[in-house]
């Protein structure tokens, strides 16, 4: 199955003139940042790059994407349905799954939407801190037609400091619609909340 996926991923990227940079992450489990997220095109290119690298990636998607007849396909592609109307603690649930797994890469888009929102959401960072796993910086650079899995960051709960690393990495990465890329910044409340999280 992985070899078939690789052929499909390679064919997709070749058709659009894209290239993959780097290789699979050298860690068995992590939170993988998906950025920039400015277009519906991000999803197929992300999947194509993962398949080209022969990397098994799980991603979080709106529960409506998993309705018939597409639910089975979405799950087979690594999708995890998320019902944002629910009261359950999604961040905690994903962190527990990561902590318990031997191998698991969970893809999260910190922007949360294809429209500019003013700041990144902190769920991806909280998951990594609670699960005690690294953060892999994934990217799609439409200007250069390049994408891949880049820097690896070990989050220590100092979000204001780590935000500088995120900003530096994505500074020159251009999304499909660059004007819709949400600046890498977090609210003071979010930074303080993460700083107060108990550490293992």
Which residues are CB-neighbours of 196 under 8 A, at least 6 positions away?
A: none
Cis? peptide before 18, omega within 30° of 0: no
Q: Rounded to the nearest 5°, which phi and psi values hold at 84?
A: -70, -10
3/191 Cα distance (integer angstroms): 42
Per-residue pLDDT of the chain (200 residues; tens, 9 = 90+): 778 999 999 999 999 999 999 999 999 999 999 999 999 999 999 999 999 999 999 987 777 888 888 888 888 888 888 776 655 688 888 899 899 999 999 999 998 765 556 789 999 999 999 999 999 999 999 999 999 999 999 998 899 899 999 999 999 999 999 999 988 888 888 888 888 776 65
Q: Tell me which residue of 121, 128, 106 sits closest to 37, measured CA to CA.
A: 121
Is the separation of the CB atoms in 165 and 149 below 8 Å?
no
Domain-by-domain residue ranges, the chain? 88-109+117-139+156-200
């Amino acid at each position: 199955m992985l070899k078939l996926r690789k052929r499909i991923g390679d064919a997709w990227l070749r058709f659009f003139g894209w290239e993959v940079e780097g290789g699979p992450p050298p860690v068995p489990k992590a939170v993988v940042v998906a950025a920039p997220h400015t277009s519906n095109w991000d999803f197929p290119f992300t999947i194509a790059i993962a398949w080209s690298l022969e990397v098994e990636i799980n991603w979080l998607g709106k529960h409506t994407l998993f309705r018939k007849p597409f639910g089975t396909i979405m799950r087979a592609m690594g999708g995890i349905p998320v019902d944002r109307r629910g009261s359950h603690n999604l961040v905690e649930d994903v962190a527990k799954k990561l902590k318990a797994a031997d191998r698991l890469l969970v893809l999260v888009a910190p922007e949360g939407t294809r429209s500019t929102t003013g700041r990144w959401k902190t769920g991806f960072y909280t998951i990594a801190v609670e699960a005690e796993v690294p953060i892999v910086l994934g990217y799609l650079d439409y200007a250069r037609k390049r994408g891949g899995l880049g820097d690896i960051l070990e989050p220590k709960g100092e979000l204001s400091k780590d935000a500088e690393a995120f900003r530096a990495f994505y500074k020159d990465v251009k999304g499909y619609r660059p004007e819709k890329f949400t600046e890498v910044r977090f609210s003071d409340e979010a930074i303080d909340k993460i700083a107060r999280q108990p550490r293992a």
